[in-house]
Structure 1
Amino acid sequence: MKKFKLAFAMSIVLLATACQNQKESLDAVGIMPLPASVVPASGSFQVNESTSIQISGDGEELSFISDYLAQKLRNATGFAIPVSGDAGSIVLDLRSNSEDESYELEIGEEKIVISSNGASGIFYGVQTLLQAFPAELFSPNPSNQTWEVPAGKIVDKPEYAYRGSMLDVSRHFMGVEEVKHYIDLMAELKLNYLHLHLTDDQGWRIEIKSWPKLTEIGGSTQVGGGEGGYYTQEDYVNIVKYASQRFITIVPEVDMPGHTNAILASYGELNSGINLPDGDTETVTKSVEKAEEALKKSNIIREPAELYTGIEVGFSTLDTDLELTYQLIDDVVRELSAITPGPYFHIGGDESHVTKKDDYIYFIERVQEIVKSHGKTSIGWDEIATTTLLPGNVAQFWAMADNAKLAQEQGNQVLMSPAKKAYLDMQYDSTTRIGLHWAAYIELDSAYLWDPANYTEGISKKDILGVEAPLWTETVVTRDDLEYLVFPRLAAIAEVAWTPMEKRNWESFKKRIAIQGKRWELRDINFYKSPKVDW
């Protein structure tokens, strides 16, 4: 009997030891977004004092990626993690210098290899590798724990070429460091486009040297009457470079012909009188009546509009018959395009309620030509599809499915940002402390459970450039506000954009987003803890 008790006790100890030594499988570590293929293997790789990084291939991009990875590992482990081209236990193998975003990640007990034909693929492989470590890797404070990643192989590529988010820095201004913070969080989710909404009724946020009053006056305030702010061109170049290093392309937006009160407050000579010069929030109907009355006068007195700090829309417009309007636009597009290496320039085009239809069509078609003349491709909100689009130009679907179909019928692609699914400023539910709900309440499952290729009748995958999640900032004042509305929903949108629909699964996502939540917690990211998830 004593022997039996002793044997039983030993078996319990052995079982407990085995459970302690059992490592999590590679398909259970919470990779976000979900890779195309994950094949777990036995064993694990452990980072220790002798771990080093080898770079195979050349170029400034690969040097940045290797230093990026090394710094992440150094911060967490306290180990030296040297980088060289000679040898290493973590190999970054850049096979060519294409635009390929696909990658392979092989984790063995002695070596890790990330390989791709493009530097962006190597960077995305690094993001996946970092997520395979314990969540504590993301803590700002070094730890003495064992740093292991489970063995296996991942083969991965994105579903859509354009995977983005938009920041409205006009209604509430965000400084350079705030934008960089957002870029870092986007990069971890393999997003590759940041659309900056730089202008609106409430503020003009980018320096234009040929029209200095745009920032001196138009950038001086924001929603609620705060002091506003703007980016110098040097600031903007700094943001563009920072994003580019993380394989994120900046898309600048100058919203027009509506959403232009900040312009009209800065330069009275551009003001036709169609906008409400006192900046009040009268209805659109009254706005139109005032506009028509003003235009009947033979001599319009062009005076600056009042600065506007409310959140109503649709009351302002540029004068589409005034040649000075197009001189302004040409100068703005020229200066901004010169410091924007990416291919796109966003021309807005939404909610221009007091612009007559024929005037709107003339304006958008002329502005498209201006953008083209400066070497850029226009993107605009879906209303622009009611005009004749230039080949290659993109309509961003946010509200009107019929407009998206008009773009498709012209042979143009659509960028999917349906407000009912992708707008990050929508409240989660009726108790959400900030945000709006004019489009919908968007809980985490709603942000995840949709397919861009089947969302709108007549728009299939071949018609879609990609997916973008906008954050409008009427109610966003602080970094905490931003993080609360954006996360975890941006992770859901990132997976919609990266992972094929047939591989996505809500139950799987819930488990993985809970692990991602631990990473955010360790960095004090103020994310919303959805009741749909067991955090």
Structure 2
Amino acid sequence: MKKSLFILAVASLLSGFISCSDKQGIPNQDKPALIPAPQEITLKNDFFSLTRRAAITLDSSNPELLKIAHYLNSKTAPATGFEIPVEKHGNIKFELADDTTLGAEGYHLLVKHGDILITAHQPAGIFYGVQTLLQMLPPQIKSDRKQEDFDWTIPCADITDKPQFAWRGLMLDVSRHWFTKEEVKKYIDQLAEYKMNVFHWHLTDDQGWRLEIKSLPRLTEVGAWRAPRVGQWWQREKQLPGEEATYGGFYTQDDVKEVLAYAAERYVRVIPEIDVPGHSLAALVAYPELACMKAPETVGVGNKFYGEDENTLCVGKETTFEFMDKVLTEVAALFPDEYVHIGGDECFKGFWHKCPRCQARMKAENLKDENELQSYFIHRMESLLKEKGKKLIGWDEIIEGGLAPDATVMSWRGMEGGIKSAKAGHHVIMTPAEHCYIDLWQGEPSVEPDTYSMCRLKDSYSFNPVPDGVPAEMILGGQGNLWAESVPTFHHAEYMTWPRGWALAEVLWTGPEKANWDLFWPRVEQHFLRADEAQIKYARSMYNAIVTPRYTEDGSLEIALDSEPGNLDIYYTFDNTDPDNFTPKYEAPLRVPKNATWLRVVTYRDNRPIGKVITLTIKELEKRAEDTRRVIGNL
């Protein structure tokens, strides 16, 4: 009962925080809608005006606080047209205090009519207080052009806030498609604005090796380039003999240092991933001697190869471990974080089974099967990393054959691998595909760019990283993963990340026990406005109708229609015309009229279309209903 009352109180408070036009003295344009929602907040009936007379006061001997002041100016000066100087007696104060209850990242933000105070135990907390402050400014603050004659007002509020989870991340795959150094920095900047603190950099895979390793120059001279292709992934024609490899790129170690410095100023950890022993086709093309039998001749372009062409390092050759020692030595020296991710996922073991060297290794080490051979490889990777002062993270496949003693597991195939690892005393980062794979469809597939499965905004928002019965202290947190097979441009990477990244940010900062969908999605709409001002691409897929066909007990096809926001009207037609608010309105599950060919659906709000028109053939609906019946029958 107490929990229910607490949720109602928070709901009432946040609802008022979003719609504060009834608060006297607060201009209508200043409606703050914070993502992630703070732990505690009280909104006051007044506002602070940010003007040219503003100044920042801080301990000028602390370089981190000075950098945060510079960061704040970088975010406000383009739109306001003025910078906020650091002075001895300013009305915006950054203050470090001995309040250990705020932890390393918590903060207290007090906005009054005449001044603003951000207090934290560590500089990271000041940084996150600044993020909240920026979100309390009108959306126009995100513009890169000066807004003439604009009143920059911030609602007065008292906020105490800190994160629920220490690991709040996003992963970007730069192998399947290449993203420039500047695009990577932009991605880091965007995730930091939502108090996410881990950037997982997937640097190597079958379709490209993206990190300069000075002792192994062919990794980037050869492995970073492939023939240009468009079209559906896995359906592409492989690189032809004599065809020039012109698509790709790589990051020099100086590039990486620049990205790391940029991330550090935003309190973002950068976790490099070198994906081995599988997903290594690009490395085998560069160094064919690492293959069991015959290395491929060209880097993958998105063509089918799994089980046909080798993409797995030979574990039977000691040269493989010499190669990995060189790679990890340079990675460990370059990246300051305590963790290095070594992948370990989707390792095809068929060539190991045929390889006499791998079989000899299994016999010499008394390994009963190829799963234990992979475990042997992972154990040796952990030993190499320990020698270099690093800890190992791997995808949950590293459990198979026996988990390395101190490995941290990133669980993507559901929660099961994470649960098993946590109960065995291993730290876990939860990233189950059904909640955290942001490369998947986020709405009706027929009106979305091509991919292969579904993860709606509501799915991401319902993520709870700590399953029942698991020691909470073993779960470091979670992250979203953007695999890039179907993400050819940075603009599309933004589309796939936001708003699902906002949902994950709130779950991981505010905590799943405080999640409230009905309060979250209206705030998402406010952040659409902010993204528009910043020219950041995002998906409006939550507005599209959800079409769910099923067969009833009498064998009839029945179609349910729904939407993620709860206040949309849904209109439909079966007569081949476009639906609008003059066609039938959905009220109850539909039966298909005789001889109908198509169903067309659209969503409206306030008598205006808000979602895309969805057109589905009756044959497609029948197929989906049959697929659903088959899945249910197999459960």
* Structure 1 residue 72 displacement after superposition: 2.2
Partner of residue 345, structure 1? 340
Query: Equivalent of 1:117, from 98, 103, 121?
Result: 121
Question: Do structure 1's residue 161 and structure 2's residue 166 form an aligned pair?
Answer: yes
Query: Equivalent of 1:443, from 451, 456, 460?
Result: 456
1:175-194 map, 5 Å: 175-194=180-199
Question: Do structure 1's residue 31 and structure 2's residue 34 form an aligned pair?
Answer: yes
* Structure 1 residue 490 displacement after superposition: 0.4
Query: Equivalent of 2:466, from 436, 453, 458?
Result: 453
Partner of residue 529, structure 2? 518
| TM-aligned CA distance change 1:80 to 1:304, over 3 Å | closer
* Structure 1 residue 55 displacement after superposition: 1.2
Deviations 1:13-41 (A, max 9, x none): xxxxx979641699951111011011112
Instruction: Give the partner amino acid of 1:327.
Output: E
1:153-302 map, 5 Å: 153-221=158-226, 224=229, 227-273=247-293
| TM-aligned CA distance change 1:338 to 1:49, over 3 Å | same
Partner of 1:490: helix, strand, or coil?
helix
Query: Equivalent of 1:503, from 514, 517, 528?
Result: 514
1:91–1:114 contact (8 Å) kept in structure 2:
yes
Query: Equivalent of 2:449, from 434, 446, 453?
Result: 434
* Separation (CA, whole Å) in 2 of partners of 1:390 and 1:358: 11
Question: Do structure 1's residue 67 and structure 2's residue 70 form an aligned pair?
Answer: yes
Query: Equivalent of 2:434, from 420, 425, 437?
Result: 420
1:5-20 map, 5 Å: none
Deviations 1:424-463 (A, max 9, x none): 10011312442522xx411211111232213xx5435322
2:385–2:391 contact (8 Å) kept in structure 1:
yes
Instruction: Give the partner amino acid of 1:379.
Output: I
Instruction: Give the partner amino acid of 2:114.
Output: E
Instruction: Give the partner amino acid of 1:196.
Output: W
1:26–1:151 contact (8 Å) kept in structure 2:
no
Partner of residue 76, structure 1? 79
Partner of residue 359, structure 1? 373
Question: Do structure 1's residue 131 and structure 2's residue 131 form an aligned pair?
Answer: no
* Separation (CA, whole Å) in 1 of partners of 2:125 and 2:305: 41
* Separation (CA, whole Å) in 2 of partners of 1:26 and 1:54: 28
| TM-aligned CA distance change 1:58 to 1:132, over 3 Å | same
Instruction: Give the partner amino acid of 1:55.
Output: L
Deviations 1:324-348 (A, max 9, x none): 0001111111101101011110010
Question: Do structure 1's residue 329 and structure 2's residue 335 form an aligned pair?
Answer: no
Partner of residue 409, structure 1? 423
What are structure 1's unaligned runs of at least 5 residues? 1-17, 274-301
What are structure 2's unaligned runs of at least 5 residues? 1-20, 230-238, 240-245, 353-369, 544-563, 566-604, 611-635
* Structure 1 residue 478 displacement after superposition: 1.1
Deviation larger for 255-264 or 351-360: 351-360
| TM-aligned CA distance change 1:33 to 1:506, over 3 Å | same
Partner of 2:485: helix, strand, or coil?
coil
2:430–2:475 contact (8 Å) kept in structure 1:
yes
* Separation (CA, whole Å) in 1 of partners of 2:430 and 2:117: 35
Partner of residue 3, structure 1? none
Instruction: Give the partner amino acid of 1:479.
Output: F
2:409–2:428 contact (8 Å) kept in structure 1:
yes
Deviations 1:291-349 (A, max 9, x none): xxxxxxxxxxx555432112557542111111100011111111011010111100100
* Separation (CA, whole Å) in 1 of partners of 2:502 and 2:390: 29
Instruction: Give the partner amino acid of 1:516.
Output: H
TM-score, normalised to structure 2, is 0.73
* Structure 1 residue 59 displacement after superposition: 2.4
Query: Equivalent of 1:93, from 73, 92, 95?
Result: 95
Partner of 2:445: helix, strand, or coil?
coil
1:93–1:114 contact (8 Å) kept in structure 2:
yes
Deviation larger for 189-198 or 425-434: 425-434
* Separation (CA, whole Å) in 1 of partners of 2:265 and 2:393: 23
Instruction: Give the partner amino acid of 1:453.
Output: V
Deviation larger for 507-516 or 25-34: 25-34
Partner of residue 497, structure 2? 486
Partner of 1:93: helix, strand, or coil?
strand
Instruction: Give the partner amino acid of 2:382.
Output: Q
Highest RCO, 1 vs 2 (Cα 8 Å, sep ≥ 6): 1
Partner of 2:132: helix, strand, or coil?
helix
Query: Equivalent of 2:477, from 451, 466, 482?
Result: 466
* Separation (CA, whole Å) in 1 of partners of 2:417 and 2:114: 55
Identify the structure with the greater helix proportion: 1
Q: How many residue pairs align between the two structures?
A: 485
| TM-aligned CA distance change 1:93 to 1:369, over 3 Å | same
Partner of residue 49, structure 2? 46
Partner of residue 291, structure 1? none
Partner of residue 142, structure 1? 146
Deviation larger for 107-116 or 142-151: 142-151
* Structure 1 residue 166 displacement after superposition: 0.3
* Separation (CA, whole Å) in 2 of partners of 1:348 and 1:176: 22
| TM-aligned CA distance change 1:206 to 1:96, over 3 Å | farther
CA RMSD of superposed structures (Å): 2.3
* Separation (CA, whole Å) in 2 of partners of 1:313 and 1:466: 34
Partner of 1:83: helix, strand, or coil?
coil
Partner of 2:299: helix, strand, or coil?
coil
1:26–1:152 contact (8 Å) kept in structure 2:
no
1:57–1:95 contact (8 Å) kept in structure 2:
no
Partner of 2:97: helix, strand, or coil?
strand
| TM-aligned CA distance change 1:93 to 1:26, over 3 Å | farther
1:422–1:469 contact (8 Å) kept in structure 2:
yes
| TM-aligned CA distance change 1:527 to 1:222, over 3 Å | farther
* Separation (CA, whole Å) in 2 of partners of 1:377 and 1:387: 20
* Structure 1 residue 390 displacement after superposition: 4.4
Partner of residue 294, structure 1? none
| TM-aligned CA distance change 1:237 to 1:387, over 3 Å | farther
Partner of 2:121: helix, strand, or coil?
strand
* Separation (CA, whole Å) in 1 of partners of 2:138 and 2:29: 11
2:211–2:251 contact (8 Å) kept in structure 1:
yes
